[in-house]
Amino acid sequence: MERLAATVLFICLFSFLLNCGIIQIEASPGSVDSIPETQPYRTSYHFQPSHNWMNDPNGPMYYKGVYHLFYQHNPYAATFGDRIIWAHSVSYDLINWIHLNNAIEPSQPSDINSCWSGSVTILPGEKPVILYTGIDANKHQVQNLATPKNLSDPFLREWIKYPHNPIMRPPIGVELDNFRDPSTAWLGKDGKWRVVIGAQNGDEGKVILGQTEDFVNWTVDANPFYLSENTGVVECPDFYPVSIEGANGVDTSEENLNVRHVLKIGYLRIPHDFYFLGKYLSDQNSFMADTKFTGTSLDLRYDYGKFYASKTFFDYAKSRRILWGWVNESDTRQDDIDKGWAGLQSIPRQVWLDKSGKRLVQWPVEEVEELRKEQVSITGEKLVSKSLLEVSGITASQADVEVLFELPDIENAEGIDPTKVDPQILCSEEYAAQSGIIGPFGLSALASEDQTEQTAIFFRIYKAPNRYIGLMCSDQSRSSLRKDLDKTTYGSFFDVDPKTRTISLRSLIDHSIIESFGEGGRVCITSRVYPSLAIHENAHLYVFNNGSQSVTVSKLNAWSMGKADIGHQDTISCF
């Protein structure tokens, strides 16, 4: 019995030291980087739980040296369910994660039918609080409060619900079953905290403002903070400032002449995350957006592919604003059930205001570069018309690729009026294999050796009235031999500087996801693909040019990527 007790104590102590990073284990070569043959679409360095369904990121934050990610999770199945909970994981670097026990589960009348999305606000004195949407016993959507049981625990393993939940109910003019997803709160000059909440009334989408002095007693303004017509419900609103000077982030409560504000909203009918830049008038509790929602390609989006229900937070450790987004599946419901899981989180992205002041810029957090392994480089390679060059020497199914293209004389570019063309439709019509003047050129990722399967991330250059524009596309039409997949081709326009005559592209490739960042992160497109042939060692990576004009690979760097540790389970409860 004494030997057994000693063994148990040793295991618990060993697990504690391992989780805390005091000791580390080196894996045998190849063991940590491989994906089981039976799971060719499971990712290696994108966050996902070990099994079952995951959707919205919730309440990301940095607290006492630890990054936290809560997320919507169905612990019972690989499909969305009737009792969604808040799962919880922590990290020291945003890449490697420890899974904790669930943070919030249905237990009160105010959330008995699910604990839906919400946010974390860190109050003065380093006191985090969670606001989340509960589906109550009447299937109405209400807002609830939870606080940590032990503030000295940097992992914040246990949360206590406010006994008098809910703290907010739908106001007049808001439907009882469409009032959800409170944002991170910001502190106004009048000493009141404010949040925005998504809502609907008839066909109107609304962003509703809630105010409080103590986070318990709230008033909810029936007058919308933001209103859109013919859109249906607004989901997962986010509101935060961005600096007009440089890429550093600012605290969510920052309000001065050196910042502009961003309002991000999602629409259930058209599941994309749209954002608006504008001026926050705090004394009037209003937001003056630079542009109105049009429902066209003119609307700004974080990502023009698979990316929804995103959430940002201010990272005090590195003075940056970090953005996370849910990336859903593109295969069938039965596929999800068969493989036992569904849903990814994007690589965390730093987000800031472009120098033009007209859009945001996104870039993968620097920590992901720690996973880079074998590297290959190409410089000064001219790609004549119909060129195809393999990027060999790396693991093409699990890679990070950065390439800078040098353009020919762009005065010869084809003409186009971007106000009369939908770029996504244009991408599907002028696909990667079709020849233009300048482009298509770019990367062919997760490709089979004979190119039967490939996902092409490419550019074309056009001459528009008074300017030059680029078209960035992610062409999934040949991404898999399988027929039962969503193979939507994505695309967006962006301005091209005729003086630089260069276009950059970075793509993070991870088995069934490709996150691409064009022109330094001014255009982002995320795709989910499920090749049949181009898996594991049979995946290839190419750089190509199918335009009639030559382009030059000025510089290309590609790395094999290691496997992040996302399977670690917290075991400190041994003590």
245-296: pLDDT as tens digits: 999 999 999 999 999 999 999 999 889 999 999 999 998 999 999 999 999 9
Q: Are 306 and 401 within one domain?
A: no
Token digits of residue 464 = 């528009």
Residue 343 near residue 329, CB atoms below 8 Å: yes
Residue 206 near residue 237, CB atoms below 8 Å: no
Q: Are 65 and 202 within one domain?
A: yes
Q: Are 247 and 382 within one domain?
A: no
Is the peptide bond prior to 440 cis by the omega test (within 30 degrees of 0)? yes
The reply to whether 19 falls in a domain is no
Residue 322 near residue 315, CB atoms below 8 Å: yes
Q: Are 540 and 397 within one domain?
A: yes
In this prediction, the residues of the chain whose per-residue pLDDT falls under 70 are 1-37, 571-575
CATH value at residue 527:
2.60.120.560
Q: Are 154 and 204 within one domain?
A: yes
Q: Please measure the distance between the N-terminal and C-terminal CA atoms of the chain and give it in whole angstroms.
A: 19
- What pLDDT is recorded for position 38? 78
Last residue of a domain, one of 327, 347, 364: 364
Active site residue 56: yes
The reply to whether 22 falls in a domain is no
Q: Are 205 and 262 within one domain?
A: yes
Q: Are 126 and 60 within one domain?
A: yes
Q: Are 165 and 287 within one domain?
A: yes
Last residue of a domain, one of 364, 384, 399: 364
The residue segments making up the domain with residue 275 are 52-364
The reply to whether 557 falls in a domain is yes
The reply to whether 39 falls in a domain is no
- What pLDDT is recorded for position 569? 73
Last residue of a domain, one of 301, 336, 364: 364
Phi, psi of 208 (to 5 degrees): -105, 140
Q: Are 254 and 278 within one domain?
A: yes
The reply to whether 130 falls in a domain is yes
The reply to whether 337 falls in a domain is yes
Q: Are 428 and 345 within one domain?
A: no
Residue 333 near residue 35, CB atoms below 8 Å: no
* Rounded CA separation 565/544 (Å): 34
Ramachandran class of 314: left when φ > 0, alpha when ψ lies in -120 to 50, beta otherwise: beta
Identify the CA nearest to 492 among candidates 338, 298, 269. Answer: 298
- What pLDDT is recorded for position 431? 75
Q: Are 247 and 192 within one domain?
A: yes
Identify the CA nearest to 96 among candidates 323, 354, 347. Answer: 347
Token digits of residue 567 = 């399977």
Q: For the chain, what is the domain count?
A: 2
- What pLDDT is recorded for position 37? 66
The reply to whether 533 falls in a domain is yes
- What pLDDT is recorded for position 2? 41
pLDDT by residue (tens digit) across 430-478? 777 788 999 999 999 999 999 999 999 999 999 999 999 999 999 999 9
Give the DSSP per-residue string, 388-446.
Answer: EEE--SS-TTEEEEEEEEEP--GGGPEE--GGGS-HHHHHHHS-TTS--SS--EEEEEE
Q: Are 386 and 490 within one domain?
A: yes
Mind spelling out the 3-state secondary structure of 479-490?
Answer: CCCCCCCCCCCE
The reply to whether 159 falls in a domain is yes
Token digits of residue 457 = 């991330």
CATH value at residue 252:
2.115.10.20
Catalytic residue of the set 56, 273, 331, 400? 56
The distance of Cα 510 from the centroid of its chain, to the nearest Å, equals 15
Q: Identify the three-state secondary structure at position 14.
A: helix
**Close Cβ partners of 169 (under 8 Å, ≥ 6 residues apart):** 140, 142, 143, 179, 220
Give me the sheet containing 234-243, strands edge to edge.
Answer: 234-243, 259-267, 273-281, 286-289
For residue 283, the 8-state DSSP code is: G
Place of tokens 């020919």: 408
